Structure 1
């Protein structure tokens, strides 16, 4: 090979390597800036942690509302229990008064539901 040919081939090789380097540099330059390695994982962990924190806060609010509702229900049931005991005692006193006057009180409605029977001790059926 003649020296001119060798010079031309080496110039062509340098041109190809330069073009490839320019292309690679252009492609890398157009990409979004890279974050440090593991940054995506940290961001995912932060997002998941935030979502879990929101979910836990919502569950705590719901649990507190449920506790308040249960307390309200217990108070209401206690008041209803007191009212029913008062009415039952009043009915018993009326029955006692009628029997003292030698009157027969009317029979309770039949049949007595099984759910009520444990609370009505003085009614035989």
Structure 2
């Protein structure tokens, strides 16, 4: 074997060893994968929490608007009953309050 052959063998071996080390260095460790998975899940949860907060605010506004509408209707019915009684008449009897509604209307005396 001459010098050129030994140089080629040495260069080939060095290239193989270098490729092995580069391949090993390029691999991600299990800890890195777990950390990235955790970060991805955490970011997704934070995004979902933000969406839920927005939805909660929308629901809170909707319930507030509905409560205001119901209060308006209660005041309107009371004024109509008062007007009818001042005219010397009696308003028709109200139908019984349904069970599901009773907890919400216990403070209304109309």
TM-score by length of 2: 0.70
Report the CA distance between 1:45 and its aligned residue.
Answer: 0.7
In the aligned structure 2, how far is the partner of 1:63 from the partner of 1:98? 52
Whether 2:86 is the aligned partner of 1:77: answer: no
Q: Which has the larger radius of gyration?
A: 1
Could you tell me which runs of 5 or more consecutive residues in structure 1 were left unpaired when the two chains were aligned: 1-28
Report the CA distance between 1:57 and its aligned residue.
Answer: 0.2
Give the corresponding residue for 1:4. none
In the aligned structure 1, how far is the partner of 2:39 from the partner of 2:31? 12
In the aligned structure 1, how far is the partner of 2:99 from the partner of 2:88? 30
TM-score by length of 1: 0.62
After superposition, where does 1:99-114 map in structure 2 within 5 Å?
99-109=85-95, 111-114=96-99
Give the corresponding residue for 1:55. 41
1:32-52: per-residue Cα shift (whole Å, max 9, x none)?
A: 82637xx97x61111111111
Give the corresponding residue for 1:5. none
Report the CA distance between 1:102 and its aligned residue.
Answer: 1.0
Query: For the aligned residues, what is the CA RMSD?
Result: 2.2
Aligned residues: 89
Could you tell me which runs of 5 or more consecutive residues in structure 2 were left unpaired when the two chains were aligned: 1-15
